[in-house]
C-alpha cells in the first residue's frame, strides 16, 4: 500500500546492502522501493520515480550472465546514482572499460574531491569512505564523464556523466563506516532528484487511513492478532481507519508465554475497544501434539490446527471481505527472487499460511512497504505501549518449539515459568533491547 507520489527506486544487483540503501533513503524522509535489476525501463517508468539508484553486487560486469539493467533506464530523464557495481555497470554500458584490480580493496579509504558537485554539497574536500570491490573503472566513456573525486587506489572514485544527471561512486555511502554517507544520499534525493523530504510516519498514517477506507468500503476485515509487533501495529492502523469494521481473532493455543492471553485482551479489547474474538483452543492443540517430539512436525501440526480454528471463527463474521496481515517490506523483498530464479529466494512469503485461499478473502497488508524499525515507529505514533512496540520476536508455534520432547500441560507450565524468569532478569539487567 504505497502512500506517496515521491519515490526513489533502488535496482537490486544482489548486494547485501540493498535493503540498507532503501532504509537510508527513508531516513531522509523520502520513500524508497526496491526492484530487481531485471525490471524493464517501462516498468521503472510506471513507478514514476524521482530518481534511481543502482546497488552494489558481488558480480563482475564481464562475468557470464552478469546482472545488467535495461540500458534505457539511463534515458528515462530522471537522475541515476550507481553505487560500487552500479558505478561499474554504468560506465560499462556507456562505453567505458572495467578491469580487475591488482588487489581487492576492502576497508577504509580517503576520498579527495576534485570538483564541486551537489552530490557532495556541504561536505569537506576529503572524506572517509568504505570500499568493497575487486574490479575498478579502467577508462571512461568517450561521450564524456567528469571525475568528481579520487582515492589513493581508485582514480575514478566518484564521477558524473557530462550534461546528464547520472552519477557513480565506487564506495558505499549506506554503511556506517562511511561517516558522511547519509548526507551524500540525502544530497542525491533532495538536491539532485528534487524530493521534498516529506515522507514521515504521520503522513503515512494519514494517507494509509484514507487508502484503507477506500479499499475496504463497507466490508468487514478479519485479522489474526498474535500480540506480536506486526499484527499489533496492523490492527491499530486498520482500527484507526475503519473502527468496528475490524474483527480481530486471537487464538490461545496453550503454547503462549505467561499471561499473554490476558495482556492481549486487556490492551486491544478494553483499551483500544476493538472487536476481539478470543478463543481458548489450548486443549485442542495439546491433544494434537500428544506424543510428538520432532520440532518440525510440531510446527506443521500447530500451523494446520491454527488455520482450522481461525477459519471456524472467521466463518461466523458476516460481510467479511478482507483478511488483514502484518506483512512487512522485508517479507515482500525476500520472497521475490532478484533474477526470477525461485531457487535464489531468501524465504517464502511466510505470513499467508494458506488462509486467504481457504477463506476466499482479499488480502489487506497495510504495512507491506515498511521496514521493521518503521513499523515500530508507526506503532508509537498510533499509541501502542513501548513493551508491545519493542517486543522481541516470538515464534508462531510458541513454546512448543522451545520444548524438548513431547509437550504436556505440566511440562509447558514449567517452561512458561522459566521463560518468565529469564525475561524478567534480562529486563532487570537492561539487556532486553540489546540482545536478539
> Which of 172, 239, 247, 403 is flagged as catalytic?
172
* Active site (annotated) includes residue 350: no
d(CA 32, CA 11): 11
Whole-number Cα distances in Å, 413 to 262, 303, 410: 16, 21, 5
**How does DSSP assign 264-280, residue by residue?**
HIIIIIIIS--EEEEEE
Q: Which cell goes with 250?
A: 486471537
Taking the C-alpha atoms of residue 408 and residue 198, their distance in angstroms, rounded to an integer, is 53
Name the catalytic one among 84, 189, 195, 248.
84
Q: How far apart are CA 379 and CA 373, in angstroms?
A: 10
Q: What are phi and psi of 205, to 5 degrees?
A: -60, -45
In this structure, what are the phi and psi dihedrals at residue 71, rounded to the nearest 5 degrees? -55, -25
Examine the residue annotation and report whether 172 is marked as an active-site residue of this protein.
yes
- The reply to whether 174 belongs to the active site is yes
d(CA 112, CA 123) in angstroms, rounded, equals 11
Of 105, 174, 305, 374, the active-site residue reads 174
- For residue 391, give the DSSP letter: P
- The whole-angstrom separation of Cα 167 and Cα 374 is 29
Q: Using alpha carbons, select from 7, 48, 1, 12 the residue that is nearest to residue 338.
A: 12
Q: Output the DSSP codes for 350-369.
A: -S-TTHHHHHT-EEE-TTTT
Quote the radius of gyration of the chain (alpha carbons, Å): 25
User: What ranges in 243-338 are assigned the alpha helix state H?
Assistant: 260-264, 282-289, 295-314, 329-333
- As to burial, measured by CB atoms within 10 angstroms (0-12 exposed, 13-18 middle, 19+ buried), residue 270 is exposed
Separation of alpha carbons 398 and 33, rounded Å: 33
Q: How far is CA 256 from the centre of its chain?
A: 27
Residue 133 CB contacts under 8 Å (≥ 6 apart), including other chains: 56, 84, 85, 88, 101, 104, 105, 106, 170
Triad 77, 82, 83: Cα angle to 5°: 155
Q: Which residues are catalytic?
A: 84, 172, 174
Amino acid at each position: 500500500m504505497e502512500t506517496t507520489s515521491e519515490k526513489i527506486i533502488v535496482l537490486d544487483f544482489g548486494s547485501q546492502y540493498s535493503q540498507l540503501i532503501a532504509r537510508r533513503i527513508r531516513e531522509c524522509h523520502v520513500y524508497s522501493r526496491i526492484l530487481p535489476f531485471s525490471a524493464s525501463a517501462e516498468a521503472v517508468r510506471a513507478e514514476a520515480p524521482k530518481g534511481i539508484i543502482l546497488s552494489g553486487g558481488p558480480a563482475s560486469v564481464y562475468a557470464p550472465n552478469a546482472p545488467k539493467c535495461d540500458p534505457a533506464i539511463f534515458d528515462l530523464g530522471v537522475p541515476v546514482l550507481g553505487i560500487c557495481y552500479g558505478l561499474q555497470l554504468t560506465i560499462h554500458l556507456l562505453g567505458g572499460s572495467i578491469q580487475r584490480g591488482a588487489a581487492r580493496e576492502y576497508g577504509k579509504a580517503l576520498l579527495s574531491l576534485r570538483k564541486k558537485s551537489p552530490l557532495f554539497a556541504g561536505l569537506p574536500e576529503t572524506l572517509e569512505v568504505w570500499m568493497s570491490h575487486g574490479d575498478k573503472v579502467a577508462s571512461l566513456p568517450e561521450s564524456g564523464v567528469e571525475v568528481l573525486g579520487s582515492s589513493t587506489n581508485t582514480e575514478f572514485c566518484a564521477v558524473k556523466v557530462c550534461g546528464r544527471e547520472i552519477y557513480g561512486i565506487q564506495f558505499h555511502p549506506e554503511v556506517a563506516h562511511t561517516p558522511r554517507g547519509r548526507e551524500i544520499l540525502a544530497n542525491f534525493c533532495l538536491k539532485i532528484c528534487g524530493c521534498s523530504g516529506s515522507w514521515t510516519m504521520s503522513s503515512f498514517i494519514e494517507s494509509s487511513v484514507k487508502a484503507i477506507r477506500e479499499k475496504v468500503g463497507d466490508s468487514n476485515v478479519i485479522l489474526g492478532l498474535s500480540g506480536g509487533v506486526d499484527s499489533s501495529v496492523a490492527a491499530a492502523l486498520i482500527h484507526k481507519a475503519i473502527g468496528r469494521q475490524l474483527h480481530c481473532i486471537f487464538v490461545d493455543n496453550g503454547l503462549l508465554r505467561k499471561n499473554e492471553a490476558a495482556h492481549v485482551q486487556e490492551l486491544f479489547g478494553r483499551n483500544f475497544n476493538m472487536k476481539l474474538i478470543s478463543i481458548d483452543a489450548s486443549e485442542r492443540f495439546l491433544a494434537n501434539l500428544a506424543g510428538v517430539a520432532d520440532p518440525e512436525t510440531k510446527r506443521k501440526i500447530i500451523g494446520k490446527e491454527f488455520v482450522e480454528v481461525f477459519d471456524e471463527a472467521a466463518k461466523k463474521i458476516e460481510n467479511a471481505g478482507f483478511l488483514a496481515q502484518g506483512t512487512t517490506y522485508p517479507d515482500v523483498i525476500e520472497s521475490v527472487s532478484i533474477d526470477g530464479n525461485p531457487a535464489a529466494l531468501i524465504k517464502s512469503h511466510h505470513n499467508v499460511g494458506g488462509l486467504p485461499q481457504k477463506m476466499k478473502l482479499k488480502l489487506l497488508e497495510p504495512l507491506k512497504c515498511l521496514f521493521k524499525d518503521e513499523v515500530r515507529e508507526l506503532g508509537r505514533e498510533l499509541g501502542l505501549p513501548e513493551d508491545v512496540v519493542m517486543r522481541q520476536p516470538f515464534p508462531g508455534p510458541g513454546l512448543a518449539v522451545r520444548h524438548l520432547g513431547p509437550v504436556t500441560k505440566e511440562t509447558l507450565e514449567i517452561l512458561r515459568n522459566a521463560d518468565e524468569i529469564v525475561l524478567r532478569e534480562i529486563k532487570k539487567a537492561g539487556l532486553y533491547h540489546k540482545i536478539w
